[in-house]
Amino acid sequence: MIRAVEGLVAELRRIGVPISVSESIDAVDGLQHVDLADRGAVKAALGCALVKSSDHDGAFDAVFDIYFSLTSAPDAVGAEEGEGSPEGGRAGAGAGAGGSLDDVDDAMLKELVLRALRRDDEPLRRQLSRLLVTRHAGFTPGRAVAGTYYLYRTMKAVDPDALRLALLAEERASAGPLGDVAQRLLSEDVDRRIRGLEHDVEAEIRRRLVADRGADAVARTLRTPLPEDIDFLTASAAQVSAIRQVVRPMARKLASRLAQKRRRHRRGGLDFRRTVRRSLSTGGTPVLMVFRRPRPSKPQLVVLADISGSVATFAAFTLQLTFALRSEFSKVRVFVFVDGLDEVTRILEESEDVAAATSRINSEGHGVWLDGRSDYGNAFETFWQEHGRQLSHRTTVLVLGDARSNYHAPRREALRHVQERVREVFWLNPEPEAAWNSGDSVIGQYAPYCDAVIECRTVRQLREFVEQLE
């Protein structure tokens, strides 16, 4: 058990979950107060000690399943949760006179899966999942894979789409006429059952991989980054959804933190009159300084975001975060560009969320002038000519983009004029720094006119930058 906890902690640290030595000790101590035979209780005890953010729940669940996987024999289909249980009796009754699931054909197996889903019978569903993996996954011992292919083969044989349609048809027929809300709730409940089946199949595949190659080897194969460490430019659709769930609550936390930082670190100027008056009690020596009440001024923020296809995901999340922090700035203006430049501040204000704003920006063709290929030089020149006079020493300019300008003229003088009028210019680049100034990247020509050029490939890096803003 101790070895499993050590492996769990080590793997969580490798993927970025912060765990201190005292927290790992607390996790082991907590196991003294739970039934070690109760896997759910063990998981809850370890989770309470090791996981401090809901953003890390998914990573903890995956790693826990590896190091605390069930260790029964893979092919013992009737040995657990089947034999001697009411669920096992029902399965056996449908399987044949011998009561064994091994003899059922594929058509009968699908019918049994549908029956388990219809009844929402978790023990029977787990039992059938083991048989499905045995029959359809094509498991190969010793093969160093993550198990995704095994999951794909198994679920393809099950045909979850067909199961979903069959369940929906049965539920609707038995429930009779339903309103829109009831229809939606019914659909969500059916989707939950299908996901439960897929989770059971995935857990069974993972268990067999651990039994075959060991927990550490499987952990290395299945290692995935936390949502805040996923690269914006290479994120899949599922990973983009995970990032979105992280960014939403993070904006509120950062807004509160910035407000506290501004109040704590800024103070008013010296109040000379009150200082002299207080010094009378110390013989005219100003031992204690008296300062005026701080009245920190909020800066203005101007965002210039490249929304071309290569960096669109990065721009969307950065806009979502910065616009959510607009209460910490006296004014926020947002401009988007590809080869042209348009202000979209009003669109962001009128939209329910950044996703809706992004859809509207794309449908209305904002930021596009000629061929729709990135032209940073024209965008900066347009911004300076049309909006340069509105900039002041209280303005902070934030440029979002990879500086890949398709070999157009960079026109860096426009950015130099902007820097001369504003307080600060920051450039967030979603590409790895090793790729800067390669190919059509001209970030090196713009860097002298920026206060900082920052690699910003992940939510973690984006959060670190925002926390430094004042």
CATH number at residue 462: 3.40.50.410
* pLDDT, mean over the chain: 82
Tell which residue, 87, 85, 132, 88, has the closest CA to residue 109. Answer: 132
The more confidently predicted of residues 305 and 263 is: 305
Q: Do residue 164 and residue 53 come from a single domain?
A: no
The more confidently predicted of residues 75 and 8 is: 8
Tens digits of residue pLDDT in 317-347:
888 887 777 777 888 899 999 999 999 999 9
Q: What's the token pair of residue 258?
A: 């910035």
Residue 174 lies in a domain: yes
Q: Do residue 156 and residue 55 come from a single domain?
A: no
Q: Do residue 204 and residue 256 come from a single domain?
A: no
User: Cα–Cα distances in Å, from 333 out to 34, 326, 372, 387?
Assistant: 55, 9, 23, 11
Q: Do residue 318 and residue 408 come from a single domain?
A: yes
Q: Do residue 112 and residue 256 come from a single domain?
A: no
Q: Do residue 374 and residue 434 come from a single domain?
A: yes
The yes-or-no verdict on residue 201 having pLDDT over 70 is yes
Q: Do residue 158 and residue 29 come from a single domain?
A: no
Tell which residue, 208, 169, 206, 162, has the closest CA to residue 186. Answer: 169
Residue 374 lies in a domain: yes
Residue 444 lies in a domain: yes
Give the other-Cβ count within 10 Å of 243's Cβ. 22
Q: Do residue 207 and residue 103 come from a single domain?
A: yes
The model carries a pTM of 0.63
Residue 277 lies in a domain: yes
Q: Which of 192, 224, 256 is the last residue of a domain?
A: 224
Local confidence band at 89 (pLDDT 50, 70, 90 cut-offs)? very low
Q: Residue 310 gets which letter from DSSP?
A: G
| Residue 414: per-residue pLDDT | 94
Q: Do residue 186 and residue 286 come from a single domain?
A: no
Q: Do residue 428 and residue 445 come from a single domain?
A: yes
Torsion angle defined by CA atoms of residues 89, 91, 93 and 94, in that order, rounded to the nearest 10 degrees:
170
d(CA 341, CA 383): 7
Q: Are 401 and 422 in contact (CB under 8 A)?
A: no
Q: Are 391 and 421 in contact (CB under 8 A)?
A: yes
Spatial strand order in the sheet of 395-400 = 341-343, 331-337, 300-306, 395-400, 424-429, 452-455
Residue 125 lies in a domain: yes
Number of structural domains found in the chain: 4
Report the half-sphere exposure of 350 (CA within 13 A, side-chain side): 7
Report the half-sphere exposure of 66 (CA within 13 A, side-chain side): 26
Q: Do residue 116 and residue 211 come from a single domain?
A: yes
Tens digits of residue pLDDT in 340-378:
999 999 998 888 777 788 888 888 888 888 778 899 999
Provide φ and ψ at 268, rounded to 5°. Answer: -70, 175
Q: Range of 341's domain?
A: 237-265+298-468
Residue 75 lies in a domain: no
Average pLDDT over residues 229-235: 82
Residue 197 lies in a domain: yes
Q: Do residue 214 and residue 117 come from a single domain?
A: yes
Residues 6+ apart with CB under 8 A from 218: 66, 206, 209, 210
